[in-house]
Amino acid sequence: MGKRFGKLTRLWLPVIASALVITVGAGFYSCSMAGDETTYKSLKLFSDVLEEIESNYVDEVDSEKLIQSAIKGMVSSLDPHSTFMPPEAFDELQDDTKGEFGGIGIVITMKDGILTVISPIEGTPAYRAGIMAGDVIVGIDGDSTRDMALWESVKKMRGPRGDEVVLTVVREGEPDPLEYTLKRDIIPMESVRSTSLKPGYGYVWVTNFRANTADDVIKALEKLGSGEVPLKGLIMDLRNNPGGLLNQASEVSDIFLDQGTIVSIKGRLEQHTEVFEAHANTTVRDYPIVVLINGGSASASEIVAGALQDQKRALILGTTSFGKGSVQSVKPLKDGFGLKYTIARYYTPSGRSIQAEGIKPDIEVEFELIKEKKEKRTESVFDRMVREKDLKNHLEPEGDKPGKEKDKEKKVTGHGLISLDRLNHDSQVQRALDILVSYEIFNGLNKG
């Protein structure tokens, strides 16, 4: 596309998903603590405690495991997105090259130390079984998730296609735990799907931001615009998109912008500060755009929505997004360990930090299935969202002090399966389509 941003920093949602395990950024920087007397005193205290436990604890202890646990606790106390990873967790984190894997298809997070579902992925085993946003997973194959690391739960839910995994779930309003036996399936790591809703009106669904997402969006737009009727309006669906690569969020935004700031990231150190600017496009894309978001739209998807909203390039419709306005980097450590930690906050073109606030839609529309209210499960999936502000130790907004039924009609387009019947009954999609059609009608009236 001729418009490339080299930085492959991740915008890490508090999510390591059994359907969307997003991978790694490059190595980073280290800081010296030399000269900090307070730090050395604290390290001496740590050494004294370790020595005391090694000498006098009732059972013999593994000093290496104790130190690793101490490091893990130190890093996790920073914010929900910073973590110290043992080699097996670091390997899982970098598992973005397969393109697909066996799993159940849910986006998860740790909320106050509890394994919580952010959203199921449409069309996956978890979605079909009835797993809901907000569900608390208390057991996996009979093992309690209490004190289980996020990467451990991901590993337990992954596995060969066809193998079963049993989830025990606690749900608000249900007196007893629910048990789901799910048969793992292949979860593709595709990120762009598209279809035509009616002549001239395209729908592009971006599920996450991977290495080729911007290129795939361009291909989808070219295909949508190649019919007898050129594109007159576009709906870009970022609902339940947990994020991904920073450069891909910038490039997707740049597809629709010709100038101005897309996003800026600002950290404590100068090398963690950068501004991403739009570049002139060789292809004219001046049609109106409606972007759909909800509480599952986070990180990179919030960058795209914020850039197009602030630049007055798209109308944002749906419900308030997740509110993750921080940037993480991953540093490989010796012996296969890894460190993922927060290095910066990001800001929309107008200077907004959406940390723990989210992108607020221009037009708020709740999700429902039109004329199909019997699908209460699906309605709850979109309504009950865990957000950044709900997570323990989340970064405060800047300036604040810390204190179903199977689809009836399907169409294969782009890289995946889209249910046209479902889109035709999706209240947010249909509202967006009405807006685009109205825009064309009013333009015609003005020209007349």
**Could you tell me the CATH number of the domain that includes residue 315?**
3.90.226.10
Q: Does some domain include residue 111?
A: no
Q: Does some domain include residue 392?
A: yes
The confidence score (pLDDT) of residue 243 equals 87
Boundaries of domain holding 385: 190-328+342-447
DSSP3 helix / strand / coil % (the chain, rounded to 5):
30, 25, 45
**Would you call 299 a catalytic residue per the annotation?**
yes
Q: Which residues of 192-206 are buried (b: 16+ CB within 10 A; e: fewer)?
A: bbbbbbeebbbbbbb
Taking the C-alpha atoms of residue 238 and residue 307, their distance in angstroms, rounded to an integer, is 13
Strand partners, 337: none
Q: Does some domain include residue 113?
A: no
CB-neighbour burial class of residue 60 (10 A; exposed 0-12, middle 13-18, buried 19+): exposed
The confidence score (pLDDT) of residue 244 equals 85
Is the four-CA dihedral 155, 79, 366, 436 of positive or negative sign?
Answer: negative
Cα dist. 20→95, 103, 180 in Å? 10, 10, 20
Taking the C-alpha atoms of residue 26 and residue 340, their distance in angstroms, rounded to an integer, is 11
Taking the C-alpha atoms of residue 434 and residue 425, their distance in angstroms, rounded to an integer, is 13
Q: Does some domain include residue 194?
A: yes
| Tokens representing residue 384 in the block | 């009950």
Q: Does some domain include residue 139?
A: no
Q: Which residues of 164-173 are buried (b: 16+ CB within 10 A; e: fewer)?
A: ebebbbebee
Taking the C-alpha atoms of residue 165 and residue 162, their distance in angstroms, rounded to an integer, is 10
| Tokens representing residue 96 in the block | 């973005």
Q: Does some domain include residue 210?
A: yes
Per DSSP, 330 falls in state: E
- At residue 443, the 3 state secondary structure works out as helix
The catalytically annotated residue of 155, 232, 324, 340 is 324
- At residue 238, the 3 state secondary structure works out as coil
Q: Does some domain include residue 403?
A: yes
Taking the C-alpha atoms of residue 205 and residue 220, their distance in angstroms, rounded to an integer, is 10
Per DSSP, 300 falls in state: H
Contacts of 345 (CB under 8 A, 6+ apart): 265, 266, 267, 325, 326, 327, 353, 355, 395, 398
Is the four-CA dihedral 247, 253, 254, 260 of positive or negative sign?
Answer: negative
The catalytically annotated residue of 310, 326, 380, 390 is 310
Residue pair 417/325 in contact (Cβ under 8 Å)? The answer is: no
Per DSSP, 121 falls in state: P
Q: Which residue type occupies 417?
A: L
Q: What is the DSSP string of 354-419?
A: -TTT-PPPSEE----BTT-TT-HHHHHHHHS---GGGSTTPPPPTTPPP--PPPSSEEEETTEEEE
Residue in this structure with the two tokens 């323990």, named with its chain if needed = 392
pLDDT tens for the chain, residues 1 to 448: 445 444 445 554 433 333 333 222 223 333 344 447 889 999 999 999 999 999 999 999 999 999 999 999 999 999 988 999 999 888 776 654 445 678 998 878 777 778 988 777 777 899 899 998 789 999 999 999 998 888 889 889 999 999 999 999 999 999 999 999 999 999 877 789 999 999 999 999 998 898 899 999 999 999 999 989 999 999 999 998 888 889 999 999 999 999 999 999 999 999 999 999 999 999 999 999 999 999 989 999 999 999 999 999 999 999 999 999 999 988 999 999 999 999 999 999 999 999 999 999 999 999 998 875 444 444 444 445 567 777 767 777 766 544 444 443 444 443 345 778 889 999 999 999 999 999 999 987 766 5
The catalytically annotated residue of 191, 299, 321, 353 is 299
**Would you call 310 a catalytic residue per the annotation?**
yes
The total of structural domains in the chain comes to 1
The confidence score (pLDDT) of residue 218 equals 98
**Would you call 324 a catalytic residue per the annotation?**
yes
Cα dist. 269→89, 90, 273, 274, 353 in Å? 28, 26, 7, 11, 18
Q: Does some domain include residue 263?
A: yes
